[in-house]
Amino acid sequence: MTERFEILWILPNLNEKFEVIKGNLELIKKFSLNRFKSFKIAVMDGGSTKENLVNLANIVSQSNEMALFLVLPALRPTKNKGIFDAIQMFKSENVAIIDSDCENLSENMLESLIGPVANNISDVSLPKVKKTGGRANRLICNPLLSIFFPEVRNKISYPLSGIIALKSKVLDKAIKENYFWDWGGEIQIIIRSAMAGRVNEFEFDKLDKTRGISSKKDDARQFYRAILYEAIVGGRLQNLKTFKSDQIGNFGGPYEKYLVNYLVIDVINEVLFNKKSNF
């Protein structure tokens, strides 16, 4: 019989700093030993360089098998493919997904994240970041969620933090079908889980994300496409009848306004009319 863990920690990784990953693994292991009867930590690599893979393997080999290092077999491994593979391999009651580049984790933060889920107070838990939302949230997700999924937007203020805890049954349902392997899968999990379960947000000071939207063009398109897909299959396109362009265009500076509105038109053409992107 397959062992079922009380919690599965999933740490997606792609060429992150050795010291940060090592520190996060040690912190999560220490916290879990004091908090749970059984747990597993899965570091899911998305295609790091050989040097980084060797360093990561050395970290995991010293962890007394409490953490498991996996190289995804796909030709183009992705974060969300890694999440899917991890929950297929390790059965658990609860799942916490934390990007391995988070530098300001603490035991109090981990308790705030997983506590409400483990104690059956909520089905989904994620941080409410005090710092004004990063560009992916401010320019992409929050405006579109406000249009197509206002009930999700009312529950979640910072959807793309790279930190979330869920009941396994909620996550399993969220990625069961028509789940995108690319970055869009992240916002699909947020939308589907928030629609299906009780959501907890907890205060978290800040997340440092250095890349701007102009250097995340593919990510931005994938987030847009996933939200529009969910809107289509969920029968939410009628929400466009009350859509006003300034619901998206008033976020950020002139360049950001241009880029965001261009992306909206481009992705709508691709999703609704099957027109090849020129962006």
pLDDT tens across 128-183, in order?
987 655 677 877 888 889 889 999 999 999 998 889 999 999 999 998 888 888 88
**Which residue stretches of the chain have pLDDT < 70?**
1-3, 63-77, 131-134, 208-217, 240-279
pLDDT of residue 181: 81
pLDDT of residue 256: 45
Q: Return d(Cα 272, Cα 21) in angstroms, integer.
A: 41
pLDDT in tens, 73-95: 454 567 788 888 888 888 899 99
CATH code of the domain occupying 4-132+157-212? 3.90.550.10
pLDDT of residue 14: 78
Of 134, 127, 80, 82, the C-alpha closest to 106 is 127
Alpha carbon dihedral 180, 235, 223, 91, in 10-degree steps, equals -40
pLDDT of residue 113: 97
pLDDT of residue 221: 79
pLDDT of residue 215: 45
pLDDT of residue 269: 56
For residue 198, the one-letter residue type is: R
* Whether the Cβ atoms of residue 140 and residue 260 lie closer than 8 Å to each other: yes
pLDDT of residue 190: 95
Q: Is the pTM of this model over 0.85?
A: no
Instruction: Output DSSP code: residue 122.
Output: -
Compute CA distances 105 → 8, 99, 108, 272, whole Å. 17, 11, 8, 41
pLDDT of residue 274: 56
